[in-house]
Chain A
Amino acid sequence: MDALNWIFTDWVIVAVLIAAIVFIFMVGGQWRTPHHYDERQEAIRNRSFKYGFLATAIAEFIVLFVGDHLKWPVSASIMPLMIGCETSIIYDIFKRSYFPFNQKRRKPKAWIVLILGVLNTFLCLRGWTYNSLLDNLNSLVIWLGFILIGLAILYTDFQDKRDQE
């Protein structure tokens, strides 16, 4: 009976959490500052969320099999989320839909992300001598993602400039 009570309590907590999240998204949207994406960007961003979700699902499926062999399996659960986010962001960048159309000063942001990525990837690779490969893979995915995002912004900016000339 006690076990049943616990399971019931878990379900109630999960249900309340989901309801709260949905409520925040529905009500919070009214006070959100308006973004400046045009209709093409909105359509692409919606598609990128779908691809990001798919990437998360695939990565989660892989981690399901690899997770048991990791020293810190909990940290591995972050990896699929990061892969999903990075997929979505990089897709948006290449389709010119990551930044709102009136946003300026993209280059400094790209350089900050790129430098953070390079520094931390270096630290990750150095850490491989102390930790196992799979555990560091988690942070490597995150920081390599930063490098890819930074490079993608710089590359698309360069292409856009050439396209304009």
Chain B
Amino acid sequence: MKNLRMKAARAGKDWSQEELAEKVGVSRQTISAIEKGNYNPSVKLCIKICQALGKTLNDLFWPKKQ
């Protein structure tokens, strides 16, 4: 499942995947894989991403009710 909320939050900050990756301390491909839904990050990495983007875990990673 694609993580469009994370992509939107990143775009909102006007950051490239490379920039976010650098801030979080992972590879650009890892950010790309998370956004595409090809990789489920650990809670530790989720928290780092949320801190970098100024969002909460609920905002970015909690599944929305159908």
B27 near A39: Cβ-Cβ < 8 Å: no
Among residues of A, the one whose C-beta sits closest to the C-beta of B42 is: A39
Total residues of chain B contacting the partner, CB 8 A: 17
When the two chains form their complex, are residues B27 and A96 in contact, meaning their CB atoms are under 8 A apart?
Answer: yes
Determine whether the beta carbon of B33 is less than 8 Å from that of A40: yes
Please classify the interface of chain A as helix (H, G, I), strand (E, B), loop, or mixed, using the class held by over half of its residues.
helix
Number of A-B contacts (CB under 8 A): 35
Q: Is the interface of B mostly helix, strand, loop or mixed?
A: helix
Instruction: Report B9-49 residues with CB < 8 Å from chain A CB.
Output: 16-18, 21, 25-30, 32-33, 39, 41-42, 44-45
Known contacts A39-B41, A39-B42; is-contact A164 B30 (Cβ 8 Å): no
- Determine if B25 and A38 form an interchain contact, defined as CB atoms under 8 angstroms apart: yes
B26's partner among A38, A163, A164 (CB-CB below 8 A) is A38
- Assess whether B32 is in contact with A41, with CB atoms less than 8 Å apart: no
Which of A39, A40, A96, A164 lies in contact with B17, CB distance below 8 A?
A164
Inter-subunit contact A40/B32 (CB<8 Å): no
Size of interface on A: residues with Cβ below 8 Å to B: 9
Q: Is A160 part of the binding interface, using a Cβ–Cβ cutoff of 8 Å? A: yes
Interface membership of A101, Cβ < 8 A: yes
Contact B27 A163 (CB under 8 A): no
- 17 chain-A/chain-B pairs, Cβ below 8 angstroms: A38-B25, A38-B26, A38-B27, A38-B30, A39-B26, A39-B30, A39-B41, A39-B44, A39-B45, A40-B27, A40-B29, A41-B27, A96-B27, A101-B28, A101-B29, A160-B28, A164-B18
User: A39-B41, A39-B45, A96-B27 are known contacts; what are 5 more A-B pairs with Cβ within 8 Å?
Assistant: A101-B28, A101-B30, A164-B16, A164-B17, A164-B18
